[in-house]
Structure formats: structure tokens, C-alpha cells
Amino acid sequence: MSASRPRAALRIGGLTPLSLSDWPGQLAAVVFCQGCPWRCGYCHNPHLIPPRAVTSLEWNDVLAFLERRRGLLDAVVFSGGEPTLQAGITRALRQVKALGFKLGLHTAGAYPRRLVELLPGLDWVAMDIKASFADYAATTGVADSGAPALESVRLILASGIAYEFRTTVHPDLLPAAALPALAGSLARLGVRHYALQEFRPQGCASHALNASGTSPYLSDAALTGTIAPLFDSFCVRQS
Ligand code: SF4
């Protein structure tokens, strides 16, 4: 490991050397950034939430790993945590782009002002939509978190970059009756690519959500059949 961490270097909570699913269609390494301002009960990476948690991986070591993967991987996805929380993300993206990789970003849209600076250098963005924007706090645990998320949706759509918006569905947080209205509001904003994904208990620290965490209505063809026509591409991901 590196002896010292340069000022403003990206704080890293984990690294997946190869993923086929974090950016569909791409062979990607996934860099998990430390820190998130929100507190979603269903978070399956809760260890990545504290921004100042002690981490064992240094950005320079990740960069050295990626240099060795040139020609073997298509892309690098920055995930989290919330990658846009850290000022160091800007330089990190530039460094990875210089190695010749395509750049993907997973975000919840908490920091639209940083996101808009990053968008021109990205090749793909996947953004979580937690709930209707007025109801975000019930999922994130943070008041007024829907406003920056809505701004981020608008910025991504205006950027022209390839994207996916997706919603993790837990029955306690997003019942079946809420899904068509949520999907309709996204379609009216101009979203063309959308996915619903089933809550996964792996890593989730909430016993209550783990105990009630199945959403059989995601298999309801009548329900998903009302949502699919709203988008150019739509899918349901179940475990
Ligand atoms: S926004 Fe993502 S990383 Fe942050 S708490 Fe919610 S699920 Fe976890």
C-alpha cells in the first residue's frame, strides 16, 4: 500500500476487479467510493456510508491495478457510497480516462453541482430513483433529498449522455400502487430508459426490511405491463 495519501485523493471503500453487471454490456472494474450523505435503510453497502471511515485501499493502488488491466477491460464504473460526494472524483475520472477506459458512474444524484461538472467526461450514468421526489426522505432518511435528485435527473437528461435510471423496490417503502405513478412522473420528465430492481437483503443492516423484503408484485405482468410502454427500454431485475 502507498505510504501516504495525497491531499484530496479519492477515498476508496472497495474494488471489484471484474463485473459484467454493473454496466450492462461492458467488462468493467468497479471502484467503490467511500462516503454517502444519505441513510437508505435498504443500503447493501452500509460500510461505505461514513465518509471518514478507515479504508485499506489507496487510490494510487487502484490506479496501478487499472494500468495493469489496460486492454483487458472496457470500462471503469465509479460506484459507492456516493462518488460525487468527494472532490477527488474529478481528478480520478481524468486519470482513468487517460488510461483509455470508458467511464461509468453510479449515483443517487445527491450533488448535482458536482455531477454537472463530471457529466461531459462520462460515457454512461446509472442513477437511483428512490421514490417520488416529494417522498425521498422516507427512504433516504434525509430531509429535502428529493430536490437535488430531481435536479440531477434533469442534468443527466440534458447532457445527452447514455443513462439508466433505476429504482430498488422494497414493499415497505414502495408498494405496488406507487410504481405506476412514479414511472409516469419519470416519463413526463423525459426519461426513456428505466429499470425496477428487487431489494436484495445481502449486506442490508435493517432486520425489519430484511424480514419483509420480497416484492412479488414485480412479477405481476399486468403491473409491469402498464409501465413498460412509458419507456423505450424497461426491465425488471429480480434475484
Ligand atoms: S444513496 Fe446508495 S449508498 Fe447512499 S445510503 Fe442510499 S443506497 Fe446506500
Nearest-CA residue for ligand 1 atom 7 is 43
Residue at grid coordinates 405481476: 220
pLDDT of residue 1: 47
50 Cα to the center of ligand 1, angstroms: 11
Under 8 Å between Cβ of 116 and 105? no
What is the model's pTM?
A: 0.94
pLDDT of residue 215: 83
CA dihedral 154, 156, 160, 165 (to 10 degrees): -100
70 Cα to the center of ligand 1, angstroms: 30
The burial class, CB within 10 Å (0-12 / 13-18 / 19+), for 151 is middle
Give the model confidence (pLDDT) of 182-227 as tens digits: 999 999 999 999 999 999 888 898 888 988 878 889 999 999 999 9
Give me 225's grid cell. Answer: 405491463
pLDDT of residue 7: 58
Give the Cα separation of 177 and 236 in Å (integer).
Answer: 16
Question: pLDDT digit of tens for each residue in the chain (239 aa)?
Answer: 444 554 578 999 999 999 999 999 999 999 999 999 999 999 999 999 999 998 889 999 999 999 999 999 999 999 999 999 999 999 999 999 999 999 999 999 999 999 999 999 999 999 999 999 999 999 999 999 999 999 999 999 999 999 999 999 999 999 999 999 999 999 999 999 999 999 988 889 888 898 887 888 999 999 999 999 999 999 999 87
Sign of CA dihedral 156, 157, 162, 165: positive
- Which CATH code of 3.20.20.70, 3.30.1340.10, 3.40.50.170, 3.20.20.100 fits the domain covering 12-237? 3.20.20.70
Around 75, how many Cα atoms within 13 Å sit in the side-chain half-sphere?
21
C-alpha separations of 124 from 85, 115, 174 in Å:
18, 12, 26
Q: Is the CB of 36 under 6 A from ligand 1?
A: yes
2 Cα to the center of ligand 1, angstroms: 28
3-state SS track over 149-179: HHHHHHHHHHHCCEEEEEEEECCCCCCHHHH
Q: Is the CB of 43 under 6 A from ligand 1?
A: yes
92 Cα to the center of ligand 1, angstroms: 21
Helices 179-189, 146-159: axis angle to 10 degrees equals: 50
